[in-house]
Amino acid sequence: MIEKKGDGLCVIGPMLIANASALLKAGRGFLREAATVGDVVFDLSAVAETDSSALSVIFGLLRTARDCGVTLRVTNPPASMISQAALYGVSESLSFA
């Protein structure tokens, strides 16, 4: 589940294949609305569990943010996501804050 948190977003719960489409859809909707904000924080501190689909969600949201003229900063990624990003060789592309 994604919740609006100030000028940013916070994911609460798992980021798994079962909810990846819903997370991406909700995140994209917020980013399109936030096009005038300029800088959006995507806080992952409350993410309970991830699989590789979580990276797909992050990349999808980064593309949407870029298309909307918004800077998306991903903060507090769980250790499992950092490990998966390293495993797939995409760590540098994500630049977690």
Following CA atoms 71, 22, 17, 59 in sequence, which dihedral angle do they give, to the nearest 10 degrees? -20
Per-residue model confidence (pLDDT) at position 66: 92
User: Taking the model in full, what pTM does it have?
Assistant: 0.90
DSSP letter for each residue of 22-52:
HHHHHHHHHHHHTTTT-EEEEEEEEEEEE-H
Third-level CATH fold of 2-94: Transcription Regulator spoIIAA (3.30.750)
For the chain, the structural domain boundaries read 2-94
50-94: pLDDT as tens digits: 999 999 999 999 999 999 988 999 999 999 999 999 999 998 888
29-52: pLDDT as tens digits: 999 887 767 788 999 999 989 999
How would you class 73 by CB atoms within 10 Å of its CB: exposed for 0-12, middle for 13-18, buried for 19 or more? middle
